[in-house]
């Protein structure tokens, strides 16, 4: 009798244990890198994006698997807003992906030794970063070591509505435009309350371009924040004045009235703004547009400067097969596989050879005469954004102090002084 | 292990209040049926026990330790003692701002939600035509996923959106709700009132449970509708109001999705709340220790408010079974 009670309670404990074990093994099962039969190595690869990205990456992975039968890639596409958290959780759980896409936040990982320095692999494979990628070859470096190979890399460009420009009898935007030229055109193109000359520069990629054009830097070459230097202040003030003094950019309130999640990109597609500065991705949404548009390199200030968007491929410290992973990355960033990026209208490939090829300059899907050369032209004056390990915190400092400034106008100096103080406490 | 389990089992079966006092006596032996019952008890409760220990108690204990360390989730944690707590309380203006915002939100939205809930429940309790339809309509917003609600409210609260149009009819020039630091918290409160239907349903059922004789007696004594409400209805539903108050407080202090979707804490942290802040610290800045410390500080705040609510409840919550 007593035994029975014991047994029953023991059974309960056992049941608990089994459930617990199941949960544990489910977490711990390591499917990332397994040596299958016939010496095939399976590598996990994490990337972010949507359907276009999935298609492009899968096509490239298929090419890789055909060319290297010993490698199999388990491609994991993660929505962009969850990517960092997902990868962080994978790494923290000791199950980081073999190959992972990284961008501005790369040095969160490199500074903490979570991704491998690639210099040795680069040397032994004979890959010449400078030759393959030009000036962005060592973009993803930290303390003189390369941590990721560039994969996608495109400058921000000016999208402009040709119809509106023609109607106003204006010259199209070009790289020789100064701030004054740009502003004059914006003023011509603005019909108060109805149409605006420009989509605005409230996003860091936009107003930082102006700051660097003006000779400023957010973080100087020695790693110290210089966010409130006179050059940066002047650029930020100009960006803000376009909205609140010159009224050639919709205010936040005007954007909010156009619909939820409205901004420069959708407003340009809706012909509400005549010019918009953004990355390659906007092209996809404009292919079906029923008005004439084109792209041009960014205008200039004191000097030429523009933000670039891109991403690289890195190998996590958890990878059991770093050599195979590097072979894969080498193949994926080589001309043949990179051409898929442009064929699928996904992005600008980082590979220079492809960027200069006819496949890029006159893609099948592009409207007649689209100035794809704008990207190549811009690449010579891309500024090096400070990819510090505290990248997210740095941006929070800007967001925390510029919200009202962008919404309602204000004094750039006051805000940047506050930001500078905050940055000094973040970047130690 | 089996003794501990057995003891817990004994405690669970100590249903008679008289037995509870005699702790020293040996546990009465279980009958055969009792044992079988006990076996099934453990079988059926085990998923929840496993869930509780593995996914709630375990992480909670771990987070106490993490809050005493500096940890980026990648490299080994460094023990720093109470530094994270000290930093939050003495050096981080954003923490205080977020805490202040959360206080304002909780202390306005919860009473408002209760008042609206009681008012609606009282209206729905009247014998009006289409009562069932109204009840459904009022509960409906609670069924809409929060994310969808937030998206809709983005449009409703737009500078020239429907809400401001409505205010315009009364000659009020509505603010740029979500873009103005002064108005962004009221905007979140307005959105919380949208979900008052959940409380309404509970209050309504409590009102339905009040015996009609009370009202008949009051009527004979000459009490009007207002007097009847305050002397009969209100005291009778205080337990449900109290329940909604506690749940509302806990929920309000933990506000996350609305902020995350509608404002991301902006402009200038005017709508930053504690939970979004700790989420940002942990998953965007990689400060897990600091985020855990913030979580425990929030826990203390919620405990204090809940304790205050319980303390004062003796004075205003009326339980019929406990008439003294």
Please indicate, yes or no, if residue A291 is contained in any of the structural domains.
yes
DSSP state of A43: E
Give the percent of chain A with pLDDT over 90: 56
Beta carbon pairs, A and B, within 8 Å:
123
Query: What is the nearest CA distance from B285 to chain A, expressed in angstroms?
Result: 6
Closest by alpha carbon to A157, among A48, A287, A309, A261? A309
Strand segments, DSSP code E, in chain B are 69-70, 78-79
Q: In what order do the strands lie in the sheet with A157-161?
A: A196-198, A273-278, A157-161, A293-296
B211 phi and psi angles, rounded to 5 deg: -60, 135
Q: How many independent structural domains does chain A possess?
A: 2
- Tens digits of residue pLDDT in A294-315: 999 999 998 999 999 999 999 9
Looking up tokens 């069924």, which residue turns up? B143
DSSP state of A37: G
Helix (H, G, I), strand (E, B) or coil at A106: helix
**Do A196 and A317 share a domain, yes or no?**
no
Mean pLDDT of A123-146: 89
Q: Which of A2, A6, A8 to mutate to test the interface with B (most CBs of B within 10 A)?
A: A8
Q: Do A112 and B75 touch (CB under 8 A)?
A: yes
CA distances from A127 to A133, A311, A327, A354 (A): 11, 18, 11, 16
**Do A175 and A95 share a domain, yes or no?**
no
pLDDT at B323: 56
Burial of B58 (0-12, 13-18, 19+ CB in 10 A): exposed
**Do A392 and A407 share a domain, yes or no?**
yes
Please indicate, yes or no, if residue A24 is contained in any of the structural domains.
no
Tell me: pLDDT of A278 over 70.
Answer: yes
Q: What is the distance between the alpha carbons of residues B249 and A374, in angstroms, rounded to a whole number?
A: 56
Q: Do A16 and B176 touch (CB under 8 A)?
A: no
**Do A337 and A352 share a domain, yes or no?**
yes
Please indicate, yes or no, if residue A382 is contained in any of the structural domains.
no
Q: What is the distance between the alpha carbons of residues A117 and A114, in angstroms, rounded to a whole number?
A: 10
Neighbours of B25 (CB within 10 A): 8
pLDDT at B169: 87
Q: Looking at beta carbons, which residues of chain A come within 8 Å of B46?
A: 12, 15-16, 19
A102 phi and psi angles, rounded to 5 deg: -130, 160
**Torsion angle of C-alpha atoms A63, A67, A69, A72, degrees rounded to 10:** -30
pLDDT at B24: 60
Tell me: pLDDT of A74 over 90.
Answer: yes
Selected residues 180-219 of chain B with any CB under 8 Å from a CB in chain A: 180-181
Choice among A34-48, A296-310, B266-280 with the minimum mean pLDDT: A34-48
- Tens digits of residue pLDDT in A166-181: 999 999 999 999 999 9
Please name the member of B2, B267, B280 whose beta carbon is closest to the beta carbon of A403: B267
Q: Looking at beta carbons, which residues of chain B come within 8 Å of A390?
A: 285
Choice among A2-6, A219-223, A234-238 with the minimum mean pLDDT: A2-6
**Do A276 and A395 share a domain, yes or no?**
yes
Mean pLDDT of B63-83: 89
Q: What is the distance between the alpha carbons of residues A33 and A409, in angstroms, rounded to a whole number?
A: 53
Neighbours of B216 (CB within 10 A): 10
pLDDT at B168: 85
Q: Looking at beta carbons, which residues of chain B come within 8 Å of A396?
A: 280, 284-285
B43 touches chain A (CB under 8 A): yes
Please indicate, yes or no, if residue A377 is contained in any of the structural domains.
no
Please indicate, yes or no, if residue A86 is contained in any of the structural domains.
yes
Tell me: pLDDT of A386 over 60.
Answer: yes
Q: What is the distance between the alpha carbons of residues A35 and A75, in angstroms, rounded to a whole number?
A: 17
pLDDT at B148: 85
Six-digit token pair at B149?
A: 């609600």
pLDDT at B7: 42
pTM above 0.90, yes or no: no
**Do A144 and A78 share a domain, yes or no?**
yes
Choice among A192-196, B87-91, B261-265 with the minimum mean pLDDT: B261-265
A247 phi and psi angles, rounded to 5 deg: 55, 35
Element (H, E) at B298: helix B288-316
Six-digit token pair at A200?
A: 């605005």
Mean pLDDT of A73-83: 90
Determine contact, residues A199/A276, Cβ cutoff 8 Å.
yes
Please indicate, yes or no, if residue A20 is contained in any of the structural domains.
no
Q: Looking at beta carbons, which residues of chain B come within 8 Å of A252?
A: 176, 179
Mean pLDDT of A146-157: 92
Looking up tokens 């992973």, which residue turns up? A325
pLDDT at B8: 42
**Do A283 and A175 share a domain, yes or no?**
yes
- Tens digits of residue pLDDT in B165-196: 888 888 888 788 888 888 888 888 888 888 88
Q: Looking at beta carbons, which residues of chain B come within 8 Å of A408?
A: 179-180
Average pLDDT, chain A: 87
Average pLDDT, chain B: 84
DSSP state of B231: I
Contacts with A67 (C-beta within 8 Å, 6 or more apart), sequence order:
A331
Q: What is the distance between the alpha carbons of residues A354 and A347, in angstroms, rounded to a whole number?
A: 12
**Do A85 and A102 share a domain, yes or no?**
yes
Could you tell me the CATH number of the domain that includes residue A319?
A: 3.40.190.10
Please name the member of A12, A88, A260 whose beta carbon is closest to the beta carbon of B43: A12
Mean pLDDT of A226-249: 93
What confidence tier does A261 reach under pLDDT thresholds 50, 70, 90? confident
- Tens digits of residue pLDDT in B4-31: 444 444 444 444 444 444 456 666 777 8
CA atoms within 13 A on the CB side of A178: 4
Q: Do A8 and B42 touch (CB under 8 A)?
A: yes
Selected residues 227-266 of chain A with any CB under 8 Å from a CB in chain B: 252-254, 256-257, 259-261
Q: What is the distance between the alpha carbons of residues B157 and B174, in angstroms, rounded to a whole number?
A: 9
Q: Which of A260, A416, A421 to mutate to test the interface with B (most CBs of B within 10 A)?
A: A260
Q: Looking at beta carbons, which residues of chain A come within 8 Å of B151?
A: 260
Q: What is the distance between the alpha carbons of residues B118 and A110, in angstroms, rounded to a whole number?
A: 56
CATH architecture, range B89-322: Orthogonal Bundle (1.10)
Give the percent of chain B with pLDDT over 90: 30
Query: What is the nearest CA distance from B109 to chain A, expressed in angstroms?
Result: 24
**Do A137 and A212 share a domain, yes or no?**
no
Please indicate, yes or no, if residue A4 is contained in any of the structural domains.
no
Closest by alpha carbon to A204, among A256, A239, A152, A177? A239
A14 touches chain B (CB under 8 A): no
DSSP letters spanning A108-141:
HHHHTT-B---HHHHHHHT--HHHHHGGGGGTTE
pLDDT at A7: 43
Vertex B7 angle, CA B6 and B10, to 5° = 90
- B182, closest residue in chain A (CA to CA): A404
Query: What is the nearest CA distance from B37 to chain A, expressed in angstroms?
Result: 10
- A89, closest residue in chain B (CA to CA): B73
Domain that includes residue A354, residue range: 37-153+309-361
Q: Looking at beta carbons, which residues of chain B come within 8 Å of A85?
A: 283
pLDDT at B18: 47
pLDDT at A38: 62
Selected residues 109-148 of chain A with any CB under 8 Å from a CB in chain B: 109, 112-114
CA distances from B22 to A423, B11, B30, B38 (A): 64, 12, 17, 22
Q: What is the distance between the alpha carbons of residues B27 and B5, in angstroms, rounded to a whole number?
A: 13
Tell me: pLDDT of A216 over 60.
Answer: yes
Compute the residue count for chain B: 324
- A114, closest residue in chain B (CA to CA): B74
Element (H, E) at A154: strand A149-155
Please indicate, yes or no, if residue A379 is contained in any of the structural domains.
no
**Do A45 and A159 share a domain, yes or no?**
no
Distance of CA A162 to the CA centre of its chain: 27
Q: Looking at beta carbons, which residues of chain A come within 8 Å of B154?
A: 256, 260-261
Domain positions in chain B are: 2-66, 89-322
Six-digit token pair at B82?
A: 């109470």
B154 touches chain A (CB under 8 A): yes
**Do A396 and A294 share a domain, yes or no?**
yes
**Do A327 and A357 share a domain, yes or no?**
yes
């Amino acid at each position: 009798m007593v035994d029975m009670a014991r047994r029953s309670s023991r059974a309960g404990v056992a049941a608990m244990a089994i459930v617990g074990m199941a949960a544990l093994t489910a977490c711990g099962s390591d499917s990332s890198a397994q040596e299958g039969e016939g010496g095939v190595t399976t590598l996990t690869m994490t990337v972010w994006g949507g359907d276009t990205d999935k298609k492009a990456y899968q096509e490239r992975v298929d090419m890789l698997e055909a060319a290297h039968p010993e490698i199999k890639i388990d491609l994991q596409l993660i929505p962009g807003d969850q990517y960092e958290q997902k990868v962080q959780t994978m790494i923290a759980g000791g199950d980081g992906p073999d190959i992972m896409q990284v961008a501005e936040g790369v040095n969160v990982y490199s500074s903490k030794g979570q991704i491998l320095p690639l210099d040795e692999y680069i040397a032994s494979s004979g890959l010449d970063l400078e030759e393959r990628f030009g000036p962005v070859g060592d973009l993803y470096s930290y303390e003189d070591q390369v941590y990721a190979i560039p994969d996608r890399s495109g400058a921000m460009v000016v999208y402009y509505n040709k119809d509106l420009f023609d109607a106003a009898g204006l010259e199209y935007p070009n790289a020789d435009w100064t701030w004054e030229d740009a502003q004059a055109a914006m003023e011509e193109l603005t019909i108060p309350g109805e149409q605006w000359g420009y989509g605005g520069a409230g996003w860091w990629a936009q107003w930082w371009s102006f700051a660097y054009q003006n000779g400023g830097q957010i973080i100087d070459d020695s790693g110290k924040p210089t966010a409130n230097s006179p050059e940066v202040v002047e650029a930020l003030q100009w960006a803000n004045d376009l909205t609140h003094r010159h009224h050639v950019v919709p205010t936040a309130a005007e954007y909010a009235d156009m619909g939820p999640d409205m901004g420069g990109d959708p407003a340009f597609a809706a012909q509400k703004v005549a010019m918009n500065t953004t990355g390659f991705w906007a092209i996809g949404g404009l292919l079906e547009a029923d008005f004439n548009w084109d792209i041009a390199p960014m205008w200039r200030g004191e000097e030429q400067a523009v933000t670039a968007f891109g991403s690289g491929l890195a190998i996590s410290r958890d990878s059991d097969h770093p050599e195979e992973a590097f072979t894969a990355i080498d193949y994926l960033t080589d001309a043949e596989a990179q051409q898929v990026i442009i064929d699928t209208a996904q992005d600008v490939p980082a590979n220079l050879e492809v960027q200069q090829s006819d496949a890029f300059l006159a893609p099948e899907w592009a409207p007649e005469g689209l100035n794809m050369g704008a990207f190549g032209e811009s690449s010579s004056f891309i500024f090096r954004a400070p990819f510090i390990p505290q990248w997210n915190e740095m941006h929070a400092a800007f967001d925390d102090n510029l919200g009202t400034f962008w919404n309602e106008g204000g004094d750039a100096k006051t805000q940047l002084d506050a930001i500078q103080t905050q940055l000094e406490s973040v970047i130690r | 292990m089996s003794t501990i389990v057995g003891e817990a089992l004994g405690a669970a079966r100590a249903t008679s209040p008289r037995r509870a006092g005699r702790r020293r006596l040996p546990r009465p032996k279980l009958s055969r049926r009792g044992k079988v019952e006990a076996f099934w008890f453990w079988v059926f409760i085990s998923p929840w026990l496993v869930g509780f220990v593995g996914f709630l108690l375990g992480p909670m204990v771990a987070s106490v330790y993490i809050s005493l360390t500096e940890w980026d989730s990648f490299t080994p944690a460094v023990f720093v003692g109470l530094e994270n707590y000290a930093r939050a309380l003495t050096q981080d203006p954003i923490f205080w701002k977020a805490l202040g915002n959360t206080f304002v939100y909780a202390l306005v939205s919860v009473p408002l939600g209760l008042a609206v809930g009681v008012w609606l429940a009282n209206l729905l309790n009247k014998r009006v035509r289409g009562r069932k339809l109204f009840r459904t309509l009022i509960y409906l917003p609670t069924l809409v996923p929060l994310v969808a609600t937030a998206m809709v409210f983005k449009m409703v609260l737009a500078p020239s959106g429907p809400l401001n149009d409505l205010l315009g009819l009364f000659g009020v020039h509505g603010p740029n709700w979500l873009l103005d630091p002064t108005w962004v918290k009221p905007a979140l409160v307005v959105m919380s009132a949208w979900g008052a239907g959940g409380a309404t349903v509970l209050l309504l059922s409590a009102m339905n449970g009040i015996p009609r004789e009370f009202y008949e007696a009051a009527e004979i004594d000459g009490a009007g509708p207002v007097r009847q409400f305050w002397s009969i209805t209100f005291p009778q539903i205080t337990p449900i109001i109290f329940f909604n108050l506690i749940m509302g407080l806990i929920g309000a202090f933990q506000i996350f999705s609305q902020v995350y979707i509608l404002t991301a804490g902006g402009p200038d942290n005017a709508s930053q709340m504690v939970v979004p802040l700790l989420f940002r610290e942990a998953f965007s800045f990689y400060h897990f220790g600091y985020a855990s410390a913030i979580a425990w500080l929030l826990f203390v705040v919620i405990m204090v408010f809940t304790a205050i609510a319980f303390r004062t409840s003796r004075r205003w919550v009326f339980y019929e079974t406990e008439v003294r």
